[in-house]
Structure 1
Amino acid sequence: MTENEAAWITEPAEYPFKIHNAAKPKPGPGEVVIKNVAVAINPVDWKIQSLGRYLNQYPFVLGQDAAGFIEDVGSGVNRFKKGQRVIAHCYGLLTQDPAHGAFQLYPVTAESLVTEIPESLTFEQAVVLPLAVSTASAGLYRKDYLNLPFPEADDVKSTDKVLLIWGGASSVGASAIQLAVASGLTVFTTASEANREFVKSLGAHAVFDYRSSTVVEDISHVLRGLNFAGVYDAIAEEPSFAAISEIFDMLDSKVPVASVLPCDRPTERCIPQYVIAYSIIQEPHNDIGDWIWGKYLPRALANGAFQAKPDPYVVGDGLKTIQHGLDVQKKGVSAKKVIVTL
């Protein structure tokens, strides 16, 4: 039996993935190898496969969310040892190195993007978090985005600031709500009526139905007169861009906006910025990554201050079912994340 196998994409827009051998990676300095137990599917995965964009190298291994056991550690790694239960953000799209893709039995990633998980969390539950946490953190904490105070797992210091998160029931939105609340902010968010209680359980103070014909007026009315800190757009599509722009027009306000994608139609006041999840490991001294992955998450997951949400939706077992996972995600899911076990 081979030591490692992967779900390979060997040419642009190839469908389905090809399952075959992969070299078992050796960790470099500051890296760890994960023995994979579960992976999560993100929209970017099927978009890359379907559109044949964003990759400079083929064959390649996609996937960014991994959960499993530490298999090996490189020089300089001091937080982990073989056998620990962890989640990891794999960053192959940044390095263009297939060894850094999650859709394989043994991916390698940076120690700074790995967190130990408590026994109270299954791998399937925990693997919903990595990319969502990194993406939310980049937008919330980078100085050139929203520049919020770092979150605390205990003794949160409340502020009088209010943050609007558009798309709170998405995986990024669910992480952003919890992180912002842990940073002491009051969170207003949008969600469908069906997901109202879900986002409130994450700490959202007020929830607005994004499908309502009066959602812009409703949000603007409540925000008027408050210490409005900014907007995190976790949806980043034309309807969210337009609604946020209209809110700013009604409030005649200028506040920072972060978005998971660039705004195609910016206005004078609404210019969502490109939130690159990997930027938290490219920051000077890696302050954000060190705090979120090294200090906050281990403590917050252990004491229950941070929930692994949305809930996992397991659709298959084994590398051969990852393609099915992408197909399910492409059709659309709500307040859950597509998971494949390995």
Structure 2
Amino acid sequence: MHQGFFTSRKATFQQYTTVPEELAAKIPLNLTFDQASTIPLTMATAAIGLYNKHIEPYGGCGLYPPWEEGGRDKYHGQPLFVTGGSSSLGQHVIQFAKISGFSPIITTASKRNEDYLKSLGATHVIDRSIPHSDILTAIEQITSTPVMVAYDAISDADTQNLCYEVVAPGGQVVIGLPPAIETSKLTSGKRIVQVFGSAHVPEQRPVGISLYQKVTELVANGDIKPNNVEVLPNGLLGIPDGLERLKSGQVSANKLVARPQETP
């Protein structure tokens, strides 16, 4: 399993592709190819946002990776907040936070996904539909320890502003889209980290190589789990309908997978 890139020979809308050996990992026996395909992109985005050093223009919190010696449970007892925990990215942020030792791990999501997210490592699931003021109150009731890391797996204007309010002075907010935080809220005491989720770019390749040396082991022992899978019919021709379902909110805590070789 590996992450694709933006050239024809490295792209993944095809049955066979190429990838640098150092950025590929063997699929352990407890995973199918379909399950494995759900991991690389959002795993990389989660890992790079949390553990890559900040090298302009690429963002990372610079935390110590849990797959490196001495990294597991390094952040024991420190809270972490994730918006969109049931998204593919949010699920991997939660899992990395767990093996890094963060606690509590607080996320927003639909309440129907609460049990599933707790099985991944979330300790508290807050209904994403309630007002921001209520979410902030809920977090204050969960922990009195300052939240120094918030990962916005949705990254629209609403969730970015929420995360920015959650983190304490000196904290970091990881976003995946261009910043949309209200100017009136900005303070020099909080850092905005815009992540580009690719292990292929030179500034992020070292953390990607480090991670891929341990991916097979992490997946085999259950530290990193795949998303729930739904295989689309008709290969690549099934993607447009899948995108429409995503757009209309019909997909939750699920990854739509297309098998290019099944395209009629």
Q: Distance in 1 between matches of 2:195 and 2:66?
A: 19
Matches within 5 A, 1:60-139: 87-92=1-6, 97-139=7-49
**How far is 1:170 from its partner?**
0.5
Q: Distance in 2 between matches of 1:278 and 1:166?
A: 21
Q: Distance in 1 between matches of 2:98 and 2:209?
A: 19
Q: Distance in 2 between matches of 1:173 and 1:255?
A: 19
- Structure number with greater Rg is 1
Matches within 5 A, 1:6-17: none
Q: Distance in 1 between matches of 2:87 and 2:69?
A: 25
Q: C-alpha offsets along residues 133-163 of structure 1, whole Å, 9 cap, x if unaligned?
A: 1111111102223222212399933522111
Verify the 8 A CA contact 1:236 1:261 in the aligned structure 2.
yes
**How far is 1:220 from its partner?**
3.2
Q: Distance in 1 between matches of 2:68 and 2:245?
A: 34
**2:233 corresponds to 1:316:** yes
- Give the equivalent residue in structure 2 for 1:147: 62
Structure 1: gaps spanning 5 or more residues: 1-86
- Give the equivalent residue in structure 2 for 1:228: 147
- Cα gap change, 1:181 to 1:154, in 2 (>3 Å): farther
**2:159 corresponds to 1:240:** yes
- Give the equivalent residue in structure 2 for 1:48: none
Percentage identity across paired residues of the two chains: 30
**How far is 1:99 from its partner?**
2.1
Q: Distance in 1 between matches of 2:220 and 2:118?
A: 21
Q: Distance in 1 between matches of 2:23 and 2:176?
A: 19
- Cα RMSD, aligned residues only: 2.3
- Give the equivalent residue in structure 2 for 1:163: 80
Matches within 5 A, 1:169-318: 169-186=86-103, 187-213=105-131, 214-224=134-144, 226-248=145-167, 253-266=169-182, 267-269=185-187, 272-278=192-198, 281-283=201-203, 286-295=205-214, 297-309=215-227, 311-318=228-235
Structure 2: gaps spanning 5 or more residues: 55-59
Q: C-alpha offsets along residues 42-89 of structure 1, whole Å, 9 cap, x if unaligned?
A: xxxxxxxxxxxxxxxxxxxxxxxxxxxxxxxxxxxxxxxxxxxxx120
Residue identity opposite 2:196 in structure 1: I
The structure that is strand-richer by fraction is: 1
Q: Distance in 2 between matches of 1:107 and 1:329?
A: 26
**2:249 corresponds to 1:334:** no
2:2 aligned counterpart, secondary structure: strand
1:134 aligned counterpart, secondary structure: helix
Higher relative contact order (Cα pairs below 8 Å, separated by 6+ residues)? 2
